[in-house]
Structure 1
Amino acid sequence: MGVEDADARLEEPKDPSHGDLATNVALTLAKKLGRSPRVIAEEIAEEITSRISSHIDTEDFGIESVSVAGPGFLNFKLSSGQVASGLMEIIAADDNYGRSVEGGGESLMVEFVSANPTGPMHLGHARQAALGDAIAGLLDWTGWSVSREFYYNDAGAQIDRLAESVGARYQQHFGQDAEIPEGGYQGDYIREIAADLAEEHGDRFVEDPLSEEALDVMRETAVRMLREEQDRDLSDFGLHFDVYFLESSLYENGQVESTAAALRESGKVYDLDGAVWLRTTEYGDQKDRVMIKSDGSPTYFLPDVAYHMGKWGRGFHQAINVQGADHHGTVARVQAGVQALGLPEGYPEY
């Protein structure tokens, strides 16, 4: 037809009855040729049909038939020999079918599930587990050096509320009048943790359940027991993680503090109403975000930025996070935080 730069693309039709492959090339040629796409498609189909009928071995040709549909779509039905040749390839490759070296052995992290150790896992976590493990498996199969990571949010206000909730149930266990704090955790599993504490420590903390020592024990015991339960659930689900990373370690080794200092040095931080803000709007966020609250405590996204800077520092310049819908709001601010510290746009991927 005299067109040298024709954009011919083959796709699988949504409706299998339309054939095995389809193309809209006639529609893309219509403007260049100044002709009806339907007429162009019919001419192409006629030429292909002619070649099929004149071919000695139609199986070798690979196409059984071609038809025109709608305004000018071409639908192809593959010959049985062509389909069988694909099966032979699969059989010959055996367990290695689909494997490739596309990733070139480059390190890549997939972080998924990362459930807070404040309660049992639910179906949403199971979805993330299945999705994350499938993504990690596909990447591993295509030549990436994949590390599966679980990030435990075992620090911050939510863990303090967990400890206080266990403390209240611990007091109730010994007949004391105590209430779960506002925003605390009400589940029966809190009673179970409190009962274990009572068995191990007796009434040692009843008189002063909010002492630093008491809350440390409540916090440590609750997180440990809930992590153990989560680990059992993940194991029953057939999941294996290469790394279990603790948020608390970011505070212990000074990474949260050093990240806050680095962000301030970047010039992307300002003070307002006693709080420290990060100019996340410069990186596409809807509004600037509080990084450190007026009471001096960090918001949850500051340790997240520190954690992802650590990922990069560990050599994972490709990182994918599989998160639930309740975490989608954190995407822009975390990406903004790491960009402010020099990492590329779009890191990590979600």
Structure 2
Amino acid sequence: MRFVVGLLFLLVILQSAFNSSFALAETSGAETSLIADTGGSWAGKRSLIIEPGFQYTHNSSNRIDLTGLTLPGLVIGLIQVEKVRRDILTPSVSLRFGVSEFFQINLKVPYLYRSDKFTNRPGEPQIPSQHNTVNDHALGDIEGGILFHLLKETPSRPQVIAGLKAKSRTGRDPYGLARQMATPGTQIPAELPTGTGHWALEPYVTVLKVADPAVLFANLGYFYHMERTIDGIGKVDPSDSVNLSFGIGYALNDKLALSTAFEQKIYTRAKVDGRKLAETDPVVATLLLGATYAFSPRTAMNLTLGVGLTEDSPDMQVSINFPIRFSF
């Protein structure tokens, strides 16, 4: 049913997309990495943006499930290990191609380097704590998507952009990974996942309103994970999520722009063979601070800092991107 609703939503988008078009880059210098992340960045007609980037994520938790479900940046499920510190470095290459004034194609290819440090404290005081580190790297889940301009901004209404994002499962699955003994009765991974193991779709809408020299923006989407039958586990339906973000970007001059945003993801419970799993519905909230410096009309640098606001959120995220524009 959720998938049907998403398809109906996309059909409405396709029907409305031909009504009008408008490009944010032509109206304000306040376009920043946060606006691009929410789907509000427009390459322009017959333009290609190539964006190499790096993201570093750090997360520490007092509990982790080695047989649970992996979501971006966290693992949820039953408790087996008392504490884990996870560091993830993700170099990536993103492409944004403006086919026309109202239609754009996006693609992102990530590669993950992970280092997980596990600490297990046995219940018996005479047994010391065990510390183990697992390092791994592999291709992540490749993402692609399309963007449409639905409404042109006027003095009385904002600009509206709609999109559909698809996530593959090219990364290493979290299922069936090799394990090793940490302490008697407790195992830790010998290899680490770099993907969720499931295809996913996210229809979303982005709203922007220019108030020179600032841009107000908001984004609402629904991230739908497709279920999959896993040998030895059953039919797994991972958590879906409602994704909401809003913020402001403001240009200090023709070279430098800053932005501030709030992002929240509310997850549903995961299911195995129709059974809902406890502790698989985290609420992730992040405060985002961004800055963009334009080296030239063709090149820029985007820097974003994310700070987790809930226990389920990654503690810190830092990303840096270098968009390069080509026109044809």
Whether TM-score is above 0.5 comes out as: no
Higher relative contact order (CA 8 A, sep 6+): 2
Say which one has the larger Rg.
Answer: 1
**TM-score under structure 2 length normalisation:** 0.22
**TM-score under structure 1 length normalisation:** 0.21
Higher strand share: 2
